[in-house]
Amino acid sequence: QVQLQQSGPGLVKPSQTLSLTCVISGDSVSSAAWNWIRQSPSRGLEWLGRTYYRSKWYNDYAVSVKSRITINPDTSKNQFSLQLNSVTPEDTAVYYCARGWLGAGFNYWGQGTLVTVSS
Amino acid sequence: QSALTQPPSASGSPGQSVTMSCTGTSSDVGGYNSVSWYQQHPGKAPKLMIYEVSKRPSGVPDRFSGSKSDNTASLTVSGLQAEDEADYYCSSYAGSNNLVFGGGTKLTVL
Average pLDDT over residues B61-69: 97
A111 class by beta-carbon count within 10 Å (0-12 exposed, 13-18 middle, 19+ buried):
middle
B97 contacts A105? CB cut-off 8 A:
no
Confidence (pLDDT) at B46: 98
Confidence (pLDDT) at B36: 98
Confidence (pLDDT) at A53: 97
Confidence (pLDDT) at B1: 59
Does A28 have pLDDT greater than 70? Answer: yes
B52 contacts A103? CB cut-off 8 A:
yes
User: Please, which pLDDT band fits residue A103 given cuts at 50, 70 and 90?
Assistant: confident
As a residue count, chain A comes to: 119
Confidence (pLDDT) at B2: 65
Query: Closest Cα partner for A71 from A109, A30, A119, A35?
Result: A35
Average pLDDT, chain A: 97
Does A71 have pLDDT greater than 90? Answer: yes
Confidence (pLDDT) at A116: 98
At A37-68, the pLDDT tens digits run 999 998 899 999 999 999 999 999 999 999 99
Share of chain B above pLDDT 70, in %: 98
A103 contacts B32? CB cut-off 8 A:
yes
Average pLDDT, chain B: 96
Contacts of B57 in chain A (CB under 8 A): 105, 107
Residues in CB range of B95: below 8 A, 6 or more apart: B27, B28, B31, B32
- Going from the C-alpha of B64 to that of each of A80, A104, B38, B61, B87, the distances in angstroms are 32, 17, 11, 6, 14
Average pLDDT over residues A5-21: 97
